[in-house]
Amino acid sequence: MPFTVVLAGRPNVGKSTLFNRLAGRRLALVSDQPGLTRDRRETEVELGDLRFRLIDTAGIDEAPDGSLTARMREGSQSAIAEADLCLFLIDARAGITQADVEFAQWLRRGSTPIVLVANKGEGRRGREGFYEAYELGLGEPISISAEHGEAIGDLIDAIRGFAEAHAAGEPDDGPERPLRLVVIGRPNAGKSTLINRLVGAERMLAGPEAGITRDAIAIDWAWRGKAVRLFDTAGLRRRARVGEKSEILARGDALRAVRFAEVVILLLDARQSLDKQDLQLADLVAEEGRALVIAVNKADLVPDRAAYLKALRAAVDQKLTQVRGAPLVMVSALEGTGLDTLIGKAFAAAETWNRRVSTGELNRWFAEIVDRHPPPAVAGRRVRLRYITQASSRPPTFIVFCSRPEALPDSYARYIVNELRTAFDLPGVPVRLHFRRGKNPYAAREQGR
């Protein structure tokens, strides 16, 4: 049975447009008239090595039992229950409607995995609707424009992750799912030598010459019985120094590997100081939202390791505040020392990257830190901080709902992030924080109990 993806949502949110976009041809009728799709439409989608069955459904709407609309709704609900993945579409320009809220509640009661898709996300109104989508409690939405083809690649990447887990016969976040671990660094830092030593075989061509590795090479491996998909990458130099076409392609391949990673090991050379290029690579990891572990290779050449690590820790925490507390490990790829510690730190970083905090625990903590250090008054008016929720993990992402988000200074956002890291033990991973204006979506739910 092929991996099956179903498109669902209320009428006229763009399901058929997305169906045609993913299928690569016009199969479903598209119009501004709501309710044009009545029966489920299916097609086989092939995007490179990704293959799945795609189902377009009628918009879910309230209707009397036995009516045509009710029968359309039942057909859509049946398709969702049978699918391996549901793409739940909302109209970001229209914002969250009561129908979206009720549909989301119904989806949460089912067992089908859900990806929330904020369609029509282009423009300012689309961005506002994207943030509203967090209130549905379905995790981080993916903002796209099916009509214009914007960010369709991000959606395909999400589908690919579920499809790979399905092919392996495991849940997406199952314990046997391989840890996607990528090693990056400047040329000749010893990345290929490190990977050869880890896997216990000369799998990667290594030598004193810089730039031997060009492709991002994947190796399936196991550490203490835990599955790892290990990626070696080409050495990354400053873009201004990249001239040959082969090096340009190799750089692009390495950057793509980082985007698909869960944990990235930034390999430094102990003989060289932490420079701008190393910081730029660490910034790239943080921007992509990956967990970071810093390994210092050729540790056998460092006479005083304790003093070296102390100085490096101070430099990293000062210059890389977005991944403050990233683990530092001294290794020698040539001698094989420190490698067990390094991979242990990588698995611990993955656990932190996936960490979720309950809304109740978050808000008890939030009340304490706001009481201890209230936000500053702006133009004589105080900003009311209402509540906080974790929108998603991978990386940990939080939303603070407040009265005047535009008035909060950046320094107060940094204060909250630093307190989050300390209170919930989130070292070495990017912590994303958004401020939104809005009411508490949990209030109505509490009143209805």
Q: What is the mean pLDDT of residues 82-110?
A: 89
Whether 181 shows a pLDDT value over 70: the answer reads yes
Q: What is the pLDDT of residue 214?
A: 39
Domain at 4-167, CATH homologous superfamily: P-loop containing nucleotide triphosphate hydrolases (3.40.50.300)
| Greatest mean pLDDT among 241-245, 254-258, 386-390 | 386-390
Q: Do domains 4-167 and 359-447 have the same CATH topology?
A: no
Distances (CA, A) of 252 to 216, 265, 317: 9, 18, 28
- Each domain of the chain, given as residue ranges in start order, spans 4-167, 179-353, 359-447
Q: What is the pLDDT of residue 273?
A: 80
Q: What is the pLDDT of residue 350?
A: 94
3-state secondary structure 263-285: EEEEEEECCCCCCHHHHHHHHHH
> Would you tell me how many other CB atoms lie within 10 Å of the CB of residue 7?
31
Residue 380 backbone dihedrals phi, psi, to 5 degrees: 80, 5
Q: What is the mean pLDDT of residues 139-148?
A: 89
- pLDDT bin (cut points 50, 70, 90) of residue 139 is confident
pLDDT tens-digit map of 153-163: 889 988 988 88
* Residue that the structure tokens 């201004």 belong to: 240
Report whether 7 contacts 55 (CB < 8 A).
yes
Beta bridge partners of 56: 7, 41
Report whether 47 contacts 158 (CB < 8 A).
no
How many Cα atoms within 13 Å fall on the side-chain side of residue 445?
11
C-alpha span between 180 and 354 (Å, rounded): 13
pLDDT tens-digit map of 277-303: 888 888 889 988 899 999 999 888 888
C-alpha span between 118 and 293 (Å, rounded): 33
The pTM (predicted TM-score) of the whole model is: 0.61
Which CATH number among 3.30.365.10, 3.40.50.300, 3.40.50.720, 3.10.420.10 corresponds to the domain 179-353? 3.40.50.300
pLDDT tens-digit map of 258-272: 877 899 999 999 888
Q: What is the pLDDT of residue 59?
A: 65
Token pair in block for residue 269 = 């050379």
